[in-house]
């Protein structure tokens, strides 16, 4: 794994220690056997949901209680309320659940809740700091249909191995990039889904110009714009070259999630024509 000189290094250090404990509690062989015993899933694939003709625009709606940059985002954190809003929103085609606990206050149980209450059968993305094959097998058992891989953590061979493993057990990897070099690393693998995150991992500042990297991807990729999509104007603009946008904080801080979803997918008003102005 690569050093990133960002908060990722601290998070990964903690994750490695936890995984050592976790692997003693639930051995890898047990995970593999449990996966072999799983019934077939009736939930559509993550890639297929992002590439479907309708609806437009497409949103991956995120579930997160907190973030390192903003602290607590939602209190009370009512999973039933969030799930009902996301399930019934036509433009929400997938649900992203953060399971990292130390910085985001997520949990495996939160993902299991959304998988168990997936009324409209929307694919679920597990967002965490995944770097070990054990975590990918965990994701499958928790009910995820996709999982996040952060390209900056890996060389091409490491990234490809983690992509291959997920695809071999019916999970879709979403490879997240921040730079042109990371994009090239991602496209050197067999991943079908690539996300561009506009948030700088050192400063936590947003630079939505990074989303322009998505223009470099051919149409067969499922292209996801992450972070910084917070208005119908920008959503309309970026949908020209992104298949979906991932939105979390905007919904989590809202008093009325349903209204926030409806507001952001409402096409921006067209300016009056010259004839109308006279």
Q: Which residues are catalytic?
A: 62, 64, 127, 176, 197, 226-227
Q: Is 223 helix (H, G, I), strand (E, B) or coil?
A: strand
Q: Containing H/E element for 168?
A: helix 156-168
The residue to which tokens 């690539």 are assigned: 194
What is the Cα–Cα distance from 62 to 125, expressed in whole angstroms?
Answer: 9
CA separation for the pair 77, 85 (Å, rounded): 13
Radius of gyration for the chain, computed over Cα atoms and rounded to the nearest angstrom: 19
Largest Cα–Cα separation, the chain:
76
Q: How far apart are CA 229 and CA 176, in angstroms?
A: 16
């Amino acid at each position: 794994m690569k050093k990133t000189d960002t908060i990722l290094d601290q998070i990964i250090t903690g994750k490695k220690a936890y995984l050592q404990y976790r692997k003693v509690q639930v051995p890898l062989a047990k995970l593999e056997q449990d996966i072999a015993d799983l019934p077939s899933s009736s939930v559509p694939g993550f890639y297929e949901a992002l590439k479907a003709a309708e609806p437009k625009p497409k949103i991956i709606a995120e579930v997160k209680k907190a973030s390192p940059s903003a602290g607590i985002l939602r209190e009370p954190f009512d999973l039933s309320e969030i799930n009902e809003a996301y399930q019934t929103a036509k433009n929400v085609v997938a649900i992203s659940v953060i399971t990292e606990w130390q910085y985001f206050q997520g949990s495996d149980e939160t993902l299991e809740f959304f998988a168990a209450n997936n009324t409209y059968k929307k694919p679920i993305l597990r967002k965490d700091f995944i770097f070990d094959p054990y975590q990918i097998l965990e994701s499958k058992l928790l009910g995820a249909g996709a999982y996040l891989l952060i390209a900056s953590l890996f060389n091409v061979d490491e990234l490809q191995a983690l992509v291959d493993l997920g695809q071999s057990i019916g999970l879709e990897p979403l490879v997240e990039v921040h730079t042109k070099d990371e994009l090239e690393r991602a496209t050197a693998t067999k991943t079908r889904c690539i996300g561009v995150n506009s948030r700088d991992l050192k400063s936590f500042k947003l630079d939505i110009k990074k989303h322009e990297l998505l223009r470099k991807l051919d149409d067969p990729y499922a292209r996801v714009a992450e972070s910084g999509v917070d208005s119908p104007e920008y959503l309309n603009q970026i949908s020209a070259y992104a298949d979906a946008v991932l939105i979390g904080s905007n919904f989590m801080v809202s008093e009325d999630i349903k209204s926030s979803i409806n507001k952001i997918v409402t096409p921006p008003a067209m300016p009056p024509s010259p004839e109308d102005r006279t």
